[in-house]
Chain A
Amino acid sequence: MFGYIIKKIRFRKIRNENDAEQGRGAEGDLPAFSEDLEENLKALKLILGKSGDIVLRRFTFGYKNGAEAALLFIDGLVDKSLVHENIMKPLMLGAVPAKETSEGSGIAYIKSALLYVGDLRESASVREAVEGFLSGDTILLVNGSKEALIISLRGWQNRSIEEPLTESTVRGPRDGFTETLRVNTMLLRRKIRCPDLTFETVQIGVRTRTDVCIAYIDGLASPGLIEEIKKRLGRINTDAILESGYIEQFIEDAPFSIFSTVANSERPDKIAAKLLEGRAAILVDGTPFVLTVPTLFIESFQAAEDYYSRPYFASVIRLLRYLAFFISVLAPALYVAMATFHQELIPTPLLLTVASAHEGTPFPSVLEAGLMVIIFEILREAGVRLPRPVGSAVSIVGALVIGDAAVSAGLIGAPMVIVVAMTAVSSFVVPPQTDAGAIMRLSFLILAGMMGGYGIAIGLFAVFVHLASLRSFGTPYLSAVAPFSKRDMKDTFIRAPLWSMRKRPENIAAEDKVRQGTGLTPAPPEPEHQKPEA
């Protein structure tokens, strides 16, 4: 028996090692450039293969010696007019002193004197050149030089900056992130012109080599947080990073929880505000969704617009959001619990109406509610996927006809339709929690069907205990409520006036907790002297 166990353990160990090996990718080490142009080109052709979009341009330049050079770039990733104007033209027209060419320091001279390009570097490593090449840089190889010039003249078709579809506001800036990393960092730079704003880029994903950029404000974000993020990003050993969601699922604190501990957004103003509170943002090339950490539960209820309106309305709307969230999660369960277990709780006239509506229906209440919730989820999903021409037809059919016909046919009671409709609409008020909310809705429904009000109470406890035990990158998930922070209360259930929010949220910023000075309450100026009315 022991032999069996030992064999199993050994088998597991070997298998794990093999898995780790696989993820590393089959690259091995690449050689460095040689001085011979032909050799370099051959090596590069071997690595890059024979794709049709790789452009190789050989040319000679210089008067007397006619040094051979080759230009490599990928058609589509490069701004070709700039390549022609700023690389080929000066090279072909400009004069290179003989001394530089023969001594093999041509590259240095070209770099310092000839090219009209702002962003270039030299490299002796083939790997670096290839990586740059695949990202859209242009490679310049000169015969006789051990180094290649990697020139960044990237330009590709980009989506224009437009308001994000998923997060629109009534008042506020209408720009949104796009799929290009550089555009996103530009948008952030425009919001925060502080020298402490730092971007640290790494490349993740063996085959996609996606640029992932950590943004933070040096001095506000805690160094431990940045360290932790870098550590977790470094641990990722996967084939492809196609969207920030991939990164999120690799670095999150609680992969088995239904609540997400990493927030995302498409709006630069929202991300900028979070950076200014001391959080860190993770931008991923290829997607407009930017992640922020650490994330708190109450953040789902804070919309960007809240801060652009005045406090009264913003506070009321915020309270409304909490109410809507509770309705969306608990309404079907509460209805079922009251109708099947606690009929004494319903006021008499209401009970009579509900009873009469329930009279002819064939299903027990739980089943009715469950069916309606599932149908609603189906409709919602279909609404997202369907092509636009068909859109309105489906929504009309779905919502009106099915609901109405079901009631008239006596399959479902009218109050149930109302409850589920309310639930459906409320579930969109708090967008970050839509998916967690859907799962909770079903679970609470089942619990309510099993044990009524007690089931719901137990479910609430379980959810709350779970939330209380979550941490997001070191910060407790329910910060501001538990552990309680009096000054964070100004931004939790209500939105206190901007001039009263003096300090940054507790638990997040490392140092420099003070946001603004005192005495900022706006007031009209004191009258200087009493002037009699004319």
Chain B
Amino acid sequence: MKLEKGEISNAQLAVLTIAFLQAMTLTINFNYAITKQGTWLAVLAGFVLALPIAVLYTAIARRFPGQNLIQINDAVFGPYAGKLISILYIWFFIQLTIHYMFFFNSFWITYIMPETPRVAFLVMFAFVCAMAVWSGIEVIARCSYLFSAVVAVTIVTVAVLLVKEIEPGNLLPIVDFSLKDFVQSVHVILTVPFCDLVVFLMILPYTAQKQKIRKPVLIGVSLSAAQLLIVAVVSAAVMGQRILNTSSVSFAVPRLIDVADILTRLDILVAIMFLITVFMKISIFYYVTVLSLAQFLRLRAYRPLVVPIGVLCTAVAVRLYPSDLEQVYAATFVWPFNAAVYEILLPILTFAVILVRRLPKKEEAVSP
């Protein structure tokens, strides 16, 4: 029984990917502490490494058209091991939702409205995300058009307005970090933003043309990587050595915009841009969590789960980390390894098993 009755076209898939990955412009803050002004190199490297992984995801999806991740797990690993792996994935999705909620919450509260308690903030946000999830993937895809366009335009506009402040000398020296730092930075970039694409394995079955999904996804990844590159380069060029001392570069950079004394103080616009990107990301995570849980429990529809999962995630996200400091530490040192298991190892394992068992067998091409 098909859980999600909507369908998105391939163009919508590409735009959805872009909108989803645009949150990278915010999470890249974790990298500045490691690779300072050479972060853009790490971005490039991360992008190059992310492409084959994205291809891996689409390959898995193409082998089982119309089946989402939970169903694929059942088919690939067998009923018992498959269920176990599905549980692991569901656990990961919930973690993603909660972590991102907390991350964004702390970012906004620190810089814009320090006295507001986290709960009020999160509840309103979760409410809107719940609305989007309730309406289905089609609506989320439709929203992604406008949102991704707005974010892209904002990124370019901010970059253009900062041209005055750029000093190319700030980008030198290009390589000011050790190889170990570089590898760590690439690892962070790879797992935190790019490979979150693994959740798309739950969405890909609902596209219109199930075999041609590789191109839209790759286009989406490339375009968002380009935006991230712009952000990394401009931030480094403008901030110079101050990068080391700034706790949130993405927010400090637009504060420096000063065009003819009129266009000053635009940091709140950039903050709203981040709000948009994180909204998309959390909506999709939330949606995937609800959908996978419903699929796992073999429910007929996923809507009843929307509110309970939302309440649960909000409640946990309020007190996830005691302070900002632990969160940054976790994001830089702990999370990449946690995520790598689900985002890289498990899919590779899945695909290996697919190849070995030569799936799907002809009679196993089940209808969704």
State yes or no: do A and B come from one complex. yes
Instruction: Mark the stretch among A358-366, A380-388, A474-482 that contacts chain B.
Output: A474-482
Chain A contacts for B142, CB-based, 8 A: 468, 476, 478, 482-483
Q: Are A465 and B11 in contact (CB under 8 A)?
A: no
Which residues of chain B are within 8 angstroms of A451 by Cβ–Cβ distance?
113, 116, 120-121, 124
CB-based contact A453/B268 at 8 Å: yes
Q: How far is the CB of B15 from chain A (nearest CB, A)?
A: 7
Q: Which of B124, B127, B132, B145 contacts A483 (CB 8 A)?
A: B145
Measured in the bound complex, the distance between the Cα atoms of B142 and A464 in whole Å is 10
Docked CA distance A466–B116 (Å) = 27
**In the complex, what distance in Å separates the CA atom of A98 from the CA atom of B262?**
98
The answer to whether the Cβ of A63 comes within 8 Å of any Cβ in the partner chain is: no
In the complex, residue of chain A having the shortest beta-carbon distance to the beta carbon of B280: A461
- Mark A341-354 against chain B: 1 for CB-CB distance below 8 A, else 0: 11011110000000
Is B279 interfacial (CB 8 A cutoff)? yes
Q: Does B363 reach chain A (CB closer than 8 Å)?
A: no
Given A347-B262, A458-B125, A483-B12: A452 and B145 within 8 A (CB)?
no
Given the complex, which residues of B lie within 8 Å of A481, measured CB to CB? 145-146
Please determine whether A347 and B12 come into contact, CB atoms closer than 8 angstroms: no
Asked if A347 contacts B146 (CB within 8 A), the reply is no
Pairwise interchain contact A458-B128, C-beta atoms closer than 8 A: yes
CA of A288 to CA of B47 in the docked complex: distance in angstroms?
60
Provide the bound-state CA to CA distance between A481 and B12, in Å. Answer: 12
Residues of B within 8 A of A462 (CB): 127-128, 131
Q: Which residue of A lies closest to B144 (CB)?
A: A482
Q: Size range of the interface on B?
A: 35 or more
Distance (Å) between the CB of A163 and the closest chain B CB?
Answer: 37
- Return the contact of B124 from the options A345, A453, A455, A469 (Cβ within 8 A): A455
Contact with A along B38-63 (1 / 0, CB 8 A): 00000000000000000000000000
B248 to chain A, nearest CB (A): 16
**Given A451-B116, A454-B121, A457-B272, residue A464 in contact with residue B264 (CB < 8 A):** no
Interface set, chain B 106-126, CB cutoff 8 A to A: 108, 112-113, 116, 120-121, 124-125
> A469-501 toward B: CB 8 Å interface, digit per residue (1/0)?
100000010100111100000000000000000
B contact residues around A346 at 8 Å (CB) = 265
Chain A: number of interface residues, binned into ranges: 20 to 34
Which of A452, A462, A468 has the largest number of chain B CB atoms within 10 A?
A468
Known: A347-B262, A465-B132. A458 touches B272 (CB 8 A): no
Q: A454-B112, A478-B142 are in contact. Are A468 and B275 (CB under 8 A)?
A: no
Cβ contacts under 8 Å, B145 to chain A: 481-484
Q: Which residue of A lies closest to B265 (CB)?
A: A345
Q: For the complex, give the distance between the alpha carbons of A265 and B14 in Å.
A: 38
B143 & A464 in contact (Cβ 8 Å cutoff): yes
Instruction: With both chains docked as a complex, state the minimum distance between the C-beta of B42 and any C-beta of chain A, in angstroms.
Output: 30
Of B116, B120, B144, B279, the contact of A461 (CB 8 Å cutoff): B279
Alpha-carbon separation in the docked complex, A452 to B113 (Å) = 9
- Quick one: given A457-B272, A468-B139, A468-B143, are A484 and B11 in contact (CB under 8 Å)? yes
Interface centre among A346, A451, A465, A481 (most CB of B within 10 A): A465
A455: chain B residues at CB < 8 Å are: 124
Minimum CB–CB distance from B259 to chain A (whole Å) comes to 12
Q: How many angstroms from the CA of A350 to the CA of B131 in the assembled complex?
A: 38
- Check: B247 CB closer than 8 A to any chain A CB: no
For the complex, give the distance between the alpha carbons of A469 and B140 in Å.
Answer: 9
Asked whether A453 lies within 8 Å of B139 as measured between CB atoms, the reply is no
Mark contacts of B1-42 with chain A using CB atoms, 8 A cut-off: 1 yes-contact digit, 0 otherwise. 000000001011001000000000000000000000000000
**CB proximity to A under 8 Å, residues B87-101:** none
In the assembled complex, the Cα of A346 lies from the Cα of B142 at a distance in Å of 34
Q: Which residue of B108, B132, B142, B275 has the most chain A CB atoms within 10 A of its CB atom?
A: B142
Report Cα–Cα, A454/B109, bound state, in Å: 10
B241 interfacial contact with A, CB 8 Å: no
A-B contacts counted at CB < 8 A amount to: 78
* The one of A452, A457, A482 that contacts B143, using a Cβ cutoff of 8 Å: A482
Pair A465/B268 contact, Cβ less than 8 Å: no
- A465–B275 CB distance below 8 A: no
- Complex CA–CA separation, A455 to B121 (angstroms): 9
For B264, list chain A residues within 8 Å (CB). Answer: 347
Q: Identify whether the interface residues of A are mostly helix, strand, loop, or mixed.
A: helix
**Is B135 at the interface (CB under 8 A from chain A)?**
yes
* B139 near A465: Cβ-Cβ < 8 Å: yes
Is B113 touching A341 in the complex (CB atoms < 8 A)?
Answer: yes
Given A341-B113, A454-B275, A465-B131, are A482 and B124 neighbors across the interface (CB < 8 Å)? no
Cβ of A476: which chain B residues have Cβ within 8 Å of it? Answer: 142
B261 interfacial by beta-carbon distance below 8 Å: yes
Find out whether the CB atom of B108 lies under 8 angstroms from the CB atom of A454.
Answer: yes
Distance in angstroms from A443 CB to nearest chain B CB is: 13
**How distant is the Cα of A451 from the Cα of B275 in the complex, in angstroms?**
14
Q: Which of chain B's residues have a CB closer than 8 A to the CB of A452?
A: 112-113
In the complex, the chain B residue whose C-beta lies closest to that of A462 is: B128
Q: How many angstroms from the CA of A347 to the CA of B108 in the assembled complex?
A: 22
Q: Which residue of B lies closest to A459 (CB)?
A: B128
- What is the chain A residue whose CB lies nearest that of B255? A344
In the bound complex, residues from chain A placing their C-beta under 8 Å from that of B112 are: 342, 452-454
A contact residues around B265 at 8 Å (CB): 344-347
Contact B143 A453 (CB under 8 A): no
Residues of B within 8 A of A484 (CB): 11, 15, 145
**A residues within 8 A CB of B272?**
453, 457
Interface string of A230-260 (1 = CB under 8 A from B): 0000000000000000000000000000000
CA distance A9 to B186 in the complex (A): 63
Residues 249 to 304 of chain B near chain A (Cβ within 8 Å): 261-262, 264-265, 268, 271-272, 275-276, 279
Query: How many angstroms from the CA of A341 to the CA of B268 in the assembled complex?
Result: 11
A466 & B131 in contact (Cβ 8 Å cutoff)? yes
Given known A-B contacts A457-B272, A469-B139, A464 and B116 have beta carbons under 8 A apart: no
In whole angstroms, how far apart are the Cα atoms of A481 and B146 in the complex? Answer: 7
Assess the B261–A465 pair: CB atoms within 8 A. no
A461, B9: Cα distance in complex, Å = 23
- The answer to whether B261 touches A454, judged by C-beta atoms less than 8 angstroms apart, is no
Roughly how many angstroms separate A461 CA and B12 CA in the complex, as a whole number? 19
Q: Which of B127, B261, B265 has the most CB of A within 10 A?
A: B265
Contacts of A342 in B (CB 8 A): 112, 268
Cβ distance A340 to chain B, nearest Cβ, rounded Å? 11
> In the bound complex, what is the Cα–Cα distance between A457 and B124 (angstroms)?
11
Q: Return chain B residues, CB-CB under 8 Å to A341.
A: 113
| A residues near B131, Cβ cutoff 8 Å | 462, 465-466
Chain B residues contacting A347 (CB-CB under 8 Å) are 261-262, 264-265
A176 to B317, CA, bound (A): 59
Give Cα A347–Cα B260 distance, bound, in whole angstroms.
Answer: 12
A122–B271 Cα gap in the complex (Å)? 75
- Chain B minimum-CB-distance residue to A478: B142
Tell me how far the C-beta of A354 lies from the nearest C-beta in chain B, rounded to whole angstroms: 15
Instruction: Give the complex CA separation of A454 and B272 in angstroms.
Output: 8
* Closest partner residue, chain A, to B145 (CB atom): A482
State A372–B128 Cα separation when bound (angstroms). Answer: 29
How distant is the Cα of A458 from the Cα of B113 in the complex, in angstroms?
15
Q: Specify which of A461, A469, A482 is in contact with B135 (CB 8 Å cutoff).
A: A469
Cβ of A296 to closest chain B Cβ, rounded Å = 13
CB distance from B133 to the nearest CB of A (A): 9
- What residues of chain A lie closer than 8 Å to B113, measured between beta carbons? 341, 451-452, 454
Interchain residue pairs with CB less than 8 A apart (11): A347-B261, A453-B268, A454-B108, A454-B121, A454-B275, A461-B276, A461-B279, A462-B127, A481-B146, A482-B143, A483-B11
Given contacts A457-B276, A482-B143, 4 further A-B contacts (CB under 8 A): A345-B265, A451-B120, A454-B108, A464-B143
7 nearest A-B residue pairs (beta carbon): A482-B142, A469-B135, A468-B142, A482-B145, A469-B139, A468-B139, A465-B132
Q: Residues on A close to B: CB < 8 A?
A: 341-342, 344-347, 451-455, 457-458, 461-462, 464-466, 468-469, 476, 478, 481-484
Chain B residues in contact with chain A, CB under 8 A?
A: 9, 11-12, 15, 108, 112-113, 116, 120-121, 124-125, 127-128, 131-132, 135-136, 139, 141-146, 261-262, 264-265, 268, 271-272, 275-276, 279
